[in-house]
């Protein structure tokens, strides 16, 4: 079995080559997602003067550094942080993110909790960078969200005696198989975690299999699927009703929502939508792509089959009455848009592997459908299917048939929606349980 020192040495030998190979793609993504070159300095531990001043002004007795990558993880962090701040009035939090879209949401949260939350960009995991950021932030605990166990940052925190907690820990069967091949390398890094708070009972054995002591692995449930904090403000829903009406889609119109779609799915779902309109003539389609920077590509695909979509980002844009399609090319609104849907189809489940999170649609009490590829959400999918709270289809042909049935049988659609919502009660309280563990400071109980 490899030692921590050997694992770290091998990682740091491979890291420069990996960064060089990833750099062109990272720059393209940064440009597409409106990243700024000046933010890059933060990735090396150098903060603007005002950011460092805001960090220094945070409460010092207890100060958590919470790291989340992008929009999905920030959603988990937001629920966690909101409960942490309510529970402990003397706590300050630094929230780091990797992507510009994630950082935008983190900045919104920081603005809501000025003086207690500061948003920054996460460090590049080069030797010394994580330690520099730890020294600048001075956290009493490092909290990693879902899967972000970075070797250099983790090692630096461990050497400085800072407890490291992994919350809402995610380890799918596919990830476990991949990690198993490198367990000799990964195990020593995982064993530096003070505590691992897992989503599912099956995850306990998986983490113990990597050498994490049993008393450090705790079943808390999924923060993401916890109904707490999942309520979308009524004022936001009303705002989107007005936006949709201005675009030419009436409140009473049945609406198919395609959530977090990936390349190639939009045009296929649009074809399904056009065929469904032959029997449900007033049906409308909302498309919420996973990456909004693809708006031009998606619009071109839709126009190739005769659809001219309205754009959420264009205030005066209106849908074509003959094929009302609204492209939601803004970020951070998916949860609210799902409340306006009649049916929700989960993206990345037809033409790519992994799937996207169906929990928000279920919590919004909407019937949920997804394709064959939901590997990243296997426990949740199994839970929803077991309770009749979702429907999985093999391809777009089956999707069309399933949508047709649910659009015509409103009673069946309501039963599925309610069943999906009720199934998630198994995760109720996950946020509070996670907060209680974190406030114990990772102490073994």
At 178 the pLDDT is 74
Query: How far does the chain reach from its first CA to its final CA, in angstroms?
Result: 28
Write down the domain spans for the chain: 4-228+428-439, 234-427
Q: CA 241, CA 255: separation in Å to the nearest integer?
A: 12
Distance set, CA 366 to CA 165, 245, 284, 406 (Å): 34, 20, 16, 11
Fold observed for domain 234-427:
Rossmann fold (3.40.50)
Residue 217: what are its φ and ψ, rounded to 5°?
A: -105, 120
Q: State the Cα–Cα distance between residues 294 and 32, nearest whole angstrom.
A: 9
Q: Which residue, 125, 270, 228, 262, is CA-closest to 435?
A: 228
Vertex 9 angle, CA 8 and 10, to 5° = 95
pLDDT of residue 444: 42
pLDDT recorded at residue 445? 39
Give me the CATH topology for the region 4-228+428-439: Rossmann fold (3.40.50)
Give the integer Cα–Cα distance in Å for 188 and 149: 12
Contact 161, 189 (CB under 8 A): no
- Please report, for residues 162, 313, 324, 340, the alpha-carbon distance to residue 308 in angstroms, rounded to integers and kept in the order given: 54, 15, 8, 21
**Domain 4-228+428-439 identical in fold to domain 234-427:** yes
Number of C-alpha atoms within 13 angstroms, CB side, residue 202?
9
With helix as H, strand as E and coil as C, how does 280-329 read?
CCCCEEEEEECCHHHHHHHHHHHHCCCCCCEECCCCCCCCECCECEEECC
What is this structure's pTM? 0.76
Q: How many CB atoms lie within 10 A of CB 101?
A: 20
Using DSSP, state whether 143 is helix, strand or coil.
Answer: strand
One pLDDT digit (tens) per residue for the chain, 445 residues? 456 777 777 777 776 666 666 666 656 666 665 666 566 778 888 889 999 999 999 998 899 999 998 888 999 999 999 999 999 999 999 999 988 888 999 999 999 999 999 999 999 888 899 999 999 999 999 999 998 888 999 999 999 999 999 999 977 777 777 777 767 677 888 999 999 999 988 889 889 888 899 999 999 999 988 988 777 889 999 999 999 999 999 999 999 999 999 999 999 999 999 999 999 999 999 999 999 989 999 999 999 999 999 999 998 899 999 999 999 999 889 999 999 999 999 999 999 889 999 999 999 999 999 999 999 888 899 999 999 999 999 999 999 999 999 999 999 999 999 999 999 998 999 999 999 999 997 554 3
Per-residue pLDDT at 25: 63
What's residue 34's pLDDT? 63
Q: How far apart are CA 97 and CA 105, in angstroms?
A: 9
What does the alpha-carbon distance between residue 153 and residue 416 come to, in Å, rounded to a whole number? Answer: 44
pLDDT at 228: 81
């Amino acid at each position: 079995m490899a030692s921590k020192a050997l694992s770290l040495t091998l990682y740091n030998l491979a890291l420069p080559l990996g960064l060089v190979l990833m750099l062109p793609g990272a720059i393209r993504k940064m440009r597409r997602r409106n990243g700024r070159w000046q933010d890059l300095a933060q990735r090396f531990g150098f903060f603007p003067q005002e950011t460092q001043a805001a960090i220094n002004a945070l409460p010092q007795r207890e100060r958590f550094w919470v790291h989340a990558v992008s929009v999905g993880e920030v959603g988990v962090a937001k629920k966690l942080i909101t409960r942490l701040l309510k529970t402990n009035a003397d706590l300050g939090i630094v929230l780091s993110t990797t992507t510009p879209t994630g950082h935008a949401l983190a900045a919104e949260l920081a603005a809501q909790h000025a003086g207690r939350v500061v948003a920054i960009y996460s460090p590049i995991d080069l030797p010394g960078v994580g330690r520099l950021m730890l020294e600048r932030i001075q956290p009493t605990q490092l909290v990693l969200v879902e899967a972000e166990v970075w070797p250099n940052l983790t090692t630096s925190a461990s050497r400085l005696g800072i407890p490291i907690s992994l919350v809402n820990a995610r380890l799918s069967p596919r990830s476990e198989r991949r990690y198993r091949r490198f367990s000799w390398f990964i195990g020593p890094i995982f064993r530096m975690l003070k505590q691992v708070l897992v989503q599912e009972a099956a995850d306990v054995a998986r983490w113990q299999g990597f050498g994490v002591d049993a008393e450090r692995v705790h079943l808390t449930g999924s923060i993401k699927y916890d109904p707490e904090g999942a309520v979308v403000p009524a004022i936001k829903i009303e705002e989107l009703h007005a936006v949709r009406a201005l675009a030419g889609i009436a409140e009473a119109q049945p609406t198919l929502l395609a959530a977090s779609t990936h390349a190639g799915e939009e045009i296929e779902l649009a074809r399904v939508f056009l065929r469904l309109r032959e029997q449900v003539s007033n049906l409308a389609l909302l498309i919420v792509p996973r990456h909004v920077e693809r708006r031009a590509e998606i619009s071109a695909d839709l126009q190739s089959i005769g659809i001219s979509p309205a754009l959420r980002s264009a205030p005066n844009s209106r849908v074509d009455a003959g094929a009302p399609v609204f492209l939601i090319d803004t970020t951070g609104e998916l949860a609210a848009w799902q409340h306006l849907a009649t049916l929700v189809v989960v993206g990345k489940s037809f033409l790519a592997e992994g799937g996207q999170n169906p929990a928000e649609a279920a919590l919004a009490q909407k019937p949920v459908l997804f394709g064959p590829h939901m590997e990243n959400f296997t426990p949740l999918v199994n839970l929803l299917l077991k309770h009749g709270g979702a429907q999985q289809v093999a391809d777009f042909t089956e999707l069309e048939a399933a949508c047709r049935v649910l659009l015509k049988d409103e009673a069946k659609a309501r039963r599925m929606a309610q069943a999906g919502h009720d199934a998630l009660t198994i995760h109720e309280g996950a946020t509070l349980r996670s907060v209680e563990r974190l406030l114990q400071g990772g102490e073994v109980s």
